[in-house]
Amino acid sequence: MDNTGIKPGFSEKINNQDFNKKRSSGFDKNQQIIFLAIDIATLLGIIYYGYRTDDLKGALFISAMFLLVSLIFFFGLKNRQQVEITYDGTIKYIEKQIEDYKKTKHYLRTLIIITSDDGKEFIYNEIISSTKNDYTQYYKAGDKVRHHLGFNLPEKYDKSNDEKLVCILCGQLVDIENDNCTACGKTLLK
Ligand SMILES: [Zn+2]
């Protein structure tokens, strides 16, 4: 039954500028440039020292070793950053815990496990929300989802039978009639 008028599919609105800032912060180009600049300066220093002390061979050898170590380090660092990606998958498991804050306020901590289409397992266990945003009432095991780079909450593929829609920017569960989040005012993925 289709009660929302929203056809199954991932939203084109992810290209809206509301989502830009968070997505681009995943990569740190400046750090890479500084890293390379220090590398080049150190190499030039070693070679210059070798030239001055008449041990150019030794200096080149040290330079080659240094270059090798820093390249391994550099690509290790780059690969680690690329773990955070956009991918499609299926919710494998979802569970919530009710936790206390100073024994008076309650909040929810939700665990979501997603299996990507290429078989990898991703675990999100730091999803904190107020008790009225209960994600176990929204996502179900078996739901097809897309994890967007930089966001904790995935987008559901099929929203056609839902009464609520999740704002992946602030975590609010909003009535599906809305185009913008009632909490943060930003674009909803519908
Ligand atoms: Zn919001």
Residue 15 is given by DSSP the state: G
For residues 118 and 96, state if they share a domain.
Answer: yes
The CA-based dihedral angle spanning residues 22, 27, 33, 39, taken in that order and rounded to the nearest 10 degrees = 150
State yes or no: pLDDT of 21 exceeds 70.
Answer: no
The pLDDT value recorded for residue 57 is: 84
Whole-number average pLDDT of the chain:
88
> 33 lies in a domain?
yes
Distance 30 CA to ligand 1 centre (A): 30
Distance (Å, rounded) from C-alpha 112 to C-alpha 135? 9
pTM of model > 0.95? no
pLDDT of residue 79: 61
Per-residue pLDDT at 25 exceeds 50: no
Cα 26 to middle of ligand 1, angstroms: 20
Ligand 1 midpoint to CA 59 (Å):
57
C-alpha 174 – ligand 1 centre gap (Å): 8
What's the structural domain count of the chain?
Answer: 2
> Do 47 and 116 lie in a common domain?
no
- Exposed (0-12), middle (13-18) or buried (19+): which is 183, by Cβ within 10 Å? middle
Same domain for 74 and 146, yes or no, is: no
Residue 53's domain comprises: 29-81
Concatenating the DSSP letter of every residue in 114-127 gives EEETTS-EEEEEEE
